[in-house]
Structure 1
Amino acid sequence: FSANAIRVTRKVHHKCQGVDPTTYEYCKGRNYIYIHTHTHKMPHRPRVRCLVRQGRKERRRKARNVAAGGWIPEFLEIVEETQDTKEDDDFGEKDSGYDDWDLTMPWFGMDIGGTLTKLVYFEPKDITPDELDQEAEILRNIRRYLTKHSAYGKTGHRDAHLQMDNVEIRGRRGSLHFIRFPTSEMGNFLTLARAKGMAQLVTTVCATGGGAFKFEKDFKDQVNMKLAKFDELDALIKGILFTDLHNHNECYYWENASDITRSEKKRYDFSMPYPFILVNVGSGVSVLTVRGPDDYRRISGTSLGGGTFLGLCCLLTGCQTFEEAIQLATEGDHKKVDKLVRDIYGGDYERFGLPGDLVAASFGQMNSRERRASVSREDLANATLVTITNNIGSIARMCASNEKIDRVVFVGNFLRVNPISMKLLAFAMDYWSRGTLKALFLEHEGYFGAVGCLLQFNGEIMSGSFHNDNHESSSATGSEVE
């Protein structure tokens, strides 16, 4: 909404056909809202203009919140802003077009992936008493529901341990909450959104990922929401840079990755990140080279990603969820399933530096009936995980070598609750590069796309604004911090 003109978003009620909506004024001695409805015939949708007479930004917010929160009569309907609203306000301030969303609607960013949907919600914490008094009851209830629960139904979860506090977005300070649910449950999500009254407040939701296109019609038809779609790779990069800036413990690596029982996480200073290879592991895999906040390109990828792992595990073990598949993999031994170098050579292949316990053929033992009869579900899950991880690591190492970049950052929800794969990737990068490549990981894993599109939708993105001189680093390539 602009500071000069909005269109009101309330449903037309046929019972109001006899009302003559000419001019409505709300001043009470302050004269800060003037609303005029254009000529129309009920129950058709009227157009509404809201002029804010006082220059203080807080009063403008309050005025618009009164309008959106229920003061305007029920028979008015809010539709999208038109060109005649895109003018300077009466006090010489330019309007971004989205400045006033902070009180009239929740702030959401969605990344609708092939397997998992990620939702980021910004909760303002600097709401003034006046703003709180004027806040719509629906908005207040939505905020309470999202922030007071860690589970929503059977499949929705809020990752409370990832919550980021004291984050500034669009001049407001608050907390970022991170919520996920299976994309297959999108229908239930829309039903919940409708039940909580979100359709009465939120007219547009920012979204990225393939599902932003796939479910666009469902959002419009079921909850009257428009999806503002953003490129997922653009959103991914912006989200990573913003999150790392606001969380100094975001980036880490695995020390002693070759020994799973002894390896541990160590913080890594990522304040001077460029250049780096970015490997995004979701249902599939994309590999990007990143040389600056606006200088990046996709250089490779593979269809064998997290979706492949989960699909094969479901087929081979009968598991139902990603968490169950990972738990099975944690308890299994892939060496009972894979054919190793020593199974072929009787030991190490010294001429080419191949250790005996290196996988020579994934699932290579399963052509034997006796072997198939002896393996467990856990062994099959572990072998599947190792197969997918080894493939990703091989592609990442090749890309880093071709681009002559020595740091590889792995992100994506495949790494959620999955330290096995992280340690395998860390070991592979270090071993096969003879210590010249470093595998890095980020705490918020698969949420960066949702963060990035929320920032872009609210106009927060500015080239080069994320990593500033206040971050100190011991070298141009980053430094390890114990």
Structure 2
Amino acid sequence: AFPWFGMDIGGTLVKLTYFEPIDISAEEEEEEVESLKSIRKYLVSNVAYGSTGIRDVHLELKNLSLFGRKGNLHFIRFPTHDLPTFIQMGRDKNFSTLHTVLCATGGGAYKFEEEFRTIVNLQLHKLDELDCLVNGLLHIDSLSFNGQAECYYFENASDPEKCQKMPFNLDDPYPLLVVNIGSGVSILAVYSKDHYKRVTGTSLGGGTFLGLCCLLTGCETFDEALEMASKGDSTNADKLVRDIYGGDYERFGLPGWAVASSFGNMICREKRESVSREDLARATLVTITNNIGSIAKMCALNEKINRVVFVGNFLRVNTLSMKLLAYALDYWSRGQLKALFLEHEGYFGAVGALLGLLNAT
């Protein structure tokens, strides 16, 4: 029964996918209850919900076939701390009368299960977040993104002048290393549709970047932190190889521009006094991104996988980090490894949850 949703309740953001059927027969239209109509209308006719909910219109997948129906797939996100507002809205719109199954994944599917049950009278069908991530990613990649490529890479990543985004054909995706950068980071090796493993992870992720930026610069939001970082120079905070060697460390192939010590210049009072908030934001971004790139490189070499796809909402509107990852992977692997990216970067868990609806009903 409609409505069809997939929900991924993460540590920082809730991601929601909504399938809007466009092949509704006159008979169905007539039988459609008021509450279902109002939910559909509310979701599809707005691009913002309350003060923090956002529908990513540019990601909408049009005219899609799912479970034998035709429709559009919508992508919506809002901060996890606003989930109570969303739950209240479900109650106000009489969600429980629709007898629908809500498939949910992410830690919040466990954490907030009780609220969904008591406030909205809704039983969550819980799914494993890494299963959902892999299924959602493979499914979206198998579709056409309204005629354009879902997967892309950066050509000439080392040259800001010539660097450009290029489509990449991921028709034959295996084996693939998936680096999911959310609040924290999980790294998966995917060998086939049903065979994958979590290789490792790190607690230094998108949440770390934003948390440290809030402390160091007084910013409030991810977008604000990125905006600051884009104007800063991390080398004012970081100590580079050339600051120590006066140039390259040739014997071991370390170029002078490489970071020897992240934030290493901040032990000197004069440098602390002259560093800007923008520099600190940029240094935080570079520190977190380089660390993820370094771990991803080791995992890829260890697992003997040469394609690394980076996903997760840390990369939303964050071209800086994407180009940094693309360059770092290419440079430090001497061209052996390729960094790939996907347009629907943060929504694969939610798509996987939506696909889980087929088995849940």
User: What TM-score do you get using the length of structure 2 for normalisation?
Assistant: 0.97
CA distance in 2, matches of 1:291, 1:307: 29
CA distance in 2, matches of 1:122, 1:304: 34
Candidates 327, 337, 350, aligned match of 2:237: 337
Shift of 1:391: 0.5
SS of 1:184 mapped into structure 2: helix
CA distance in 2, matches of 1:384, 1:455: 36
Match in the other structure for 2:134: 237
Match in the other structure for 2:71: 174
Match in the other structure for 1:128: 25
Name which of structure 1's ranges 174-183 and 196-205 shifts more when overlaid on structure 2. Answer: 196-205
Cα deviation code 1:145-198 (max 9, x no counterpart): 101111001110000000001211111010100000000111111122222222
The code of the aligned residue for 2:251 comes to R
The code of the aligned residue for 1:181 comes to F
Match in the other structure for 2:48: 151
CA distance in 1, matches of 2:292, 2:247: 26
Candidates 97, 104, 109, aligned match of 1:212: 109
CA distance in 2, matches of 1:202, 1:240: 28
Candidates 329, 334, 341, aligned match of 1:429: 329
The code of the aligned residue for 1:291 comes to Y
Pairwise mapping of residues 27-176 of structure 1 onto structure 2 (< 5 A)?
Answer: 101=1, 105-176=2-73
Shift of 1:360: 0.4
Match in the other structure for 2:359: 459
**Is it true that 1:319 corresponds to 2:216 in the alignment?**
no
Pairwise mapping of residues 299-378 of structure 1 onto structure 2 (< 5 A)?
Answer: 299-378=199-278
Higher relative contact order (CA 8 A, sep 6+): 2
Shift of 1:263: 1.4
Shift of 1:261: 4.2
Shift of 1:335: 0.4
The code of the aligned residue for 1:166 comes to N
SS of 1:236 mapped into structure 2: helix
**Is it true that 1:408 corresponds to 2:308 in the alignment?**
yes
Contact 2:64 2:73 in 1 (8 A): yes
Contact 2:136 2:348 in 1 (8 A): yes
Note the aligned Cα RMSD (angstroms): 1.1
SS of 1:425 mapped into structure 2: helix
Match in the other structure for 1:63: none
Contact 2:239 2:262 in 1 (8 A): yes
Contact 1:207 1:450 in 2 (8 A): yes
Shift of 1:111: 0.4
CA distance in 1, matches of 2:89, 2:231: 37
The code of the aligned residue for 2:229 comes to A
Pair 260,193 (structure 1): closer, same or farther in 2 beyond 3 Å: farther
Name which of structure 1's ranges 289-298 and 183-192 shifts more when overlaid on structure 2. Answer: 183-192
Match in the other structure for 2:179: 279
Candidates 139, 143, 151, aligned match of 1:246: 143
Contact 2:3 2:100 in 1 (8 A): no
SS of 2:166 mapped into structure 1: strand
Candidates 438, 456, 465, aligned match of 2:338: 438
SS of 2:232 mapped into structure 1: coil
The code of the aligned residue for 1:243 comes to I
CA distance in 2, matches of 1:261, 1:182: 35
CA distance in 2, matches of 1:360, 1:197: 57
Q: Unpaired runs of 5+ in structure 2?
A: none
Contact 1:203 1:224 in 2 (8 A): no
CA distance in 1, matches of 2:125, 2:103: 5
Higher Cα Rg, which structure:
1
Shift of 1:200: 2.3
The code of the aligned residue for 1:205 comes to L
SS of 2:134 mapped into structure 1: helix
User: What TM-score do you get using the length of structure 1 for normalisation?
Assistant: 0.73
Contact 1:106 1:202 in 2 (8 A): no
Q: Unpaired runs of 5+ in structure 1?
A: 1-100, 461-482
SS of 2:110 mapped into structure 1: helix
Shift of 1:459: 3.4
Pair 222,455 (structure 1): closer, same or farther in 2 beyond 3 Å: same
CA distance in 1, matches of 2:7, 2:187: 21
Aligned-residue sequence identity (percent) comes to: 64
Contact 2:101 2:357 in 1 (8 A): no
Pair 392,201 (structure 1): closer, same or farther in 2 beyond 3 Å: same
Whichever structure has more helix as a proportion of its residues is 2
CA distance in 2, matches of 1:380, 1:184: 27
SS of 2:229 mapped into structure 1: helix
Shift of 1:203: 4.4
Pair 340,129 (structure 1): closer, same or farther in 2 beyond 3 Å: same
Cα deviation code 1:96-125 (max 9, x no counterpart): xxxxx1xxx311000000011100000111
Pair 262,304 (structure 1): closer, same or farther in 2 beyond 3 Å: same
Cα deviation code 1:71-104 (max 9, x no counterpart): xxxxxxxxxxxxxxxxxxxxxxxxxxxxxx1xxx
Candidates 349, 354, 360, aligned match of 1:449: 349
Number of matched pairs: 357
Contact 2:188 2:196 in 1 (8 A): yes
The code of the aligned residue for 2:170 comes to F
SS of 2:224 mapped into structure 1: helix
